[in-house]
Amino acid sequence: MRDGINAYDAVQVRVDFDNGMSINFHNNWITPSDFEGPVNQGHEIVGADGKVESDQQYRGFRWWNKGGGSRTSNNHFTRDVLRADGTKAYVGYGVDSLTVGLVAICRVKFAVPPAGRDDVAHLYPTAEEARITCAIVDAAAKVRDLNFKYLAEGKGATVTARFGPDGITICDPNRASEGAEKVFQRIYEKAI
């Protein structure tokens, strides 16, 4: 924290796909230390025929599609919902994720016969499913760190990452004098 401000690493990543789609990912937070939600998440996806955006702080989800106009729904992380008998149920996608985790734990620990990991894998994202996301984030961090280093040396931010059927490759033209194996470093072997 600096002068009452929460400052986190800022990362911007642009991913260009073979089909012409291009996505810009921006990850940065600079908020006052007493801000009600020092970590806010949101996304905006714009396409030729529509747009989708969400914001964690305002709990809103908006979308527009060609010929269909725009709509807004309010998907809450947690909220009280009135039941028919007058009591309230605590629901929302935050509660749902906890419920799913507890169901998996109970099935493994208390079911007769006990469930195995494969038996509950359909309930939640598995480590294998998360592997590609972690690999992309790792590549973005490597590109960020190298570009920061080269900027400090006055060389410019020229490092990128290539994603393809051969995995993830860091492309660092600043190492051209060291040979192709240094310019193109494979950091993930599975197809993207």
Taking Cα atoms as reference points, which of 143, 112, 104 lies closest to residue 25?
Answer: 143
Same domain, 23 and 34: yes
- What is the number of alpha carbons within 13 Å of residue 55 lying toward its C-beta? 6
Same domain, 169 and 159: yes
Q: Helix (H, G, I), strand (E, B), or coil: what is residue 32?
A: strand
Same domain, 113 and 85: yes
Same domain, 167 and 144: yes
Quote the pTM value: 0.58
Whole-number Å distance between alpha carbons of 63 and 48: 13
Contact partners, residue 73, CB within 8 Å, separation at least 6: 60, 61, 62
Whole-number Å distance between alpha carbons of 20 and 80: 43
Torsion of CA 148, 152, 157, 158, to 10 degrees: -100
Same domain, 135 and 167: yes
Q: What is the pLDDT of residue 1?
A: 42
Same domain, 140 and 183: yes
Whole-number Å distance between alpha carbons of 186 and 181: 9
Q: Which helix (H) or strand (E) holds 148?
A: helix 127-152
Give the range of the structural domain holding residue 87, as residue numbers without chain letter. 79-123
Looking at the 3D structure of the chain, how many domains does it have?
4
Same domain, 174 and 134: yes
Same domain, 144 and 172: yes
Same domain, 12 and 35: yes
Same domain, 47 and 21: no
Same domain, 13 and 24: yes
Contact partners, residue 54, CB within 8 Å, separation at least 6: 42, 43, 60, 61, 62, 75
192 residues of the chain, pLDDT tens digit each:
444 444 445 667 777 778 887 777 776 666 667 776 666 677 788 888 888 887 766 667 788 888 888 888 766 767 788 889 999 888 877 788 888 889 999 999 999 999 998 999 888 878 788 888 888 889 988 999 999 999 999 998 999 999 889 999 999 999 999 999 999 999 999 887
